[in-house]
Structure 1
């Protein structure tokens, strides 16, 4: 299920403004890759290019290439909606569909894909909630609104909704920034478990979190206000946090700037 992502010389624009420049990296399957760096350096922009969410913004576009295994995600014959099914996204703030029950939140993507069998939906919803470590907490109230859950539970519900459609990749944009420490720990434990089945990419401003959950870490930075963000260094997380190659990486990690 998990797939490799190969990015080559990627630039992303908002109209005439170049937000990121020259990004080249390989994201390994069944691993967690963390993106770190100061605000405004293009981490979230780059994350959204990986499932073509970037281009839903008017005037936004990309140059370069992103391969999911051997498939060019920006190929002329590729449907962006199918890309977003294969490369799922969990956002910074939990966003369950407010008018839907817990069950219907998880089943929403399946129904959009034409899955209608009640028994099939029930099986996938249960397995997705179990995979998201949420089943035991909600199994007796599946018909209650998803918006009635706590913040940490809502985020795990959104993860269950994302994995219900069997993506190959799971993108997470600061998934714990709105959560308390106990809920954050639950999400981090879940990420460590899910990497056995998915390719996971996480944007985080919490460097301790990056050190705890990721296998590889990519540090992004920009030369100055209005300049495009660039990938400065990417390596095994243990090396990035103990012996980075670039001084800018060391300065950021040790709190000298950022």
Structure 2
């Protein structure tokens, strides 16, 4: 598991508005890559292009290439639904299906894919909840509603749901922004564990979090409101935080703006 992502000359549009311009980057397999930058600079928009979620927005389109190993995710022959199975996503706010039990939340994607064997589903429930560091907390109440869990537990349930379909890449869009500090640390510990199996890309406004969990960091910025976001630089996380090559990166990290 865990594939490499190569992006080349990617432009992202909402109808005629260019939201992100000219991004070229490589995301290494089985690593954590963090996207940082001020609000509105295109981090989350760009993240959503990596599994074609951007297209769900009316007028959303891209120019350029996104390669998952040797496969062009935007080739005419590629099914966007299949892309989203291979490249899973965890959103900013925990979003368990409110009418479903904990168990049914975990296996919702598998059932959608046609898996019906109860033994297989039960095994996947346990595997995924163990993988999300949630099994010991919920194993005696799998039939209870997922929405009844705490915020941090709900987010880990959403991670369990995402990894149950065995993706190659896991995208996380500010997964801790709605959580308390203890739950945030639990998610960060989990991210560190999951990178042994998955390629992980995380958007965060918390620079300390980026420094703690990521192997590489990409800094996005924009010239002015209404202008497209750009990738300013990308490097090993220690290099970005200790000795960035661009002044704009240094200014952002030191708190001079953003």
Partner of 1:224: 224
State the SS of the aligned residue for 2:51. coil
1:97-125 Cα offsets, whole Å, 9 max, x none, are 00000000001000011110000000011
State the SS of the aligned residue for 2:122. helix
Partner of 1:235: 235
TM-aligned CA deviation for residue 255 of structure 1: 0.2
Alignment of 1:104-115 (within 5 A): 104-115=104-115
Partner of 1:125: 125
User: What is the alpha-carbon distance in structure 1 between the residues aligned to residue 72 and residue 30 of structure 2?
Assistant: 20
1:131-152 Cα offsets, whole Å, 9 max, x none, are 0000000000000000000000
Partner of 2:45: 45
User: What is the alpha-carbon distance in structure 1 between the residues aligned to residue 59 and residue 47 of structure 2?
Assistant: 18
TM-aligned CA deviation for residue 13 of structure 1: 0.4
Alignment of 1:203-214 (within 5 A): 203-214=203-214
In structure 2, stretches of 5+ residues that fail to align are: none
Partner of 1:62: 62
1:33-89 Cα offsets, whole Å, 9 max, x none, are 000000000000000000000001111100000000000000000000000000000
1:178-227 Cα offsets, whole Å, 9 max, x none, are 00000000000000000000000000000000000000000000000100
TM-aligned CA deviation for residue 153 of structure 1: 0.1
TM-aligned CA deviation for residue 31 of structure 1: 0.3
State the SS of the aligned residue for 2:40. coil
TM-aligned CA deviation for residue 167 of structure 1: 0.1
Partner of 1:30: 30
User: What is the alpha-carbon distance in structure 1 between the residues aligned to residue 257 and residue 177 of structure 2?
Assistant: 20
In structure 1, stretches of 5+ residues that fail to align are: none
Counterpart check, 1:244 vs 2:244: yes
Partner of 1:193: 193
User: What is the alpha-carbon distance in structure 1 between the residues aligned to residue 208 and residue 79 of structure 2?
Assistant: 37
User: What is the alpha-carbon distance in structure 2 between the residues aligned to residue 159 and residue 134 of structure 1?
Assistant: 10
Alignment of 1:74-113 (within 5 A): 74-113=74-113
State the SS of the aligned residue for 2:10. strand
User: What is the alpha-carbon distance in structure 1 between the residues aligned to residue 17 and residue 152 of structure 2?
Assistant: 36
Root mean square deviation of aligned Cα: 0.3
Taking structure 1 as the reference length, the TM-score comes to 1.00
Partner of 1:149: 149
Q: Aligned residues, how many? A: 258
User: What is the alpha-carbon distance in structure 1 between the residues aligned to residue 151 and residue 168 of structure 2?
Assistant: 26
State the SS of the aligned residue for 2:161. helix
Partner of 1:10: 10
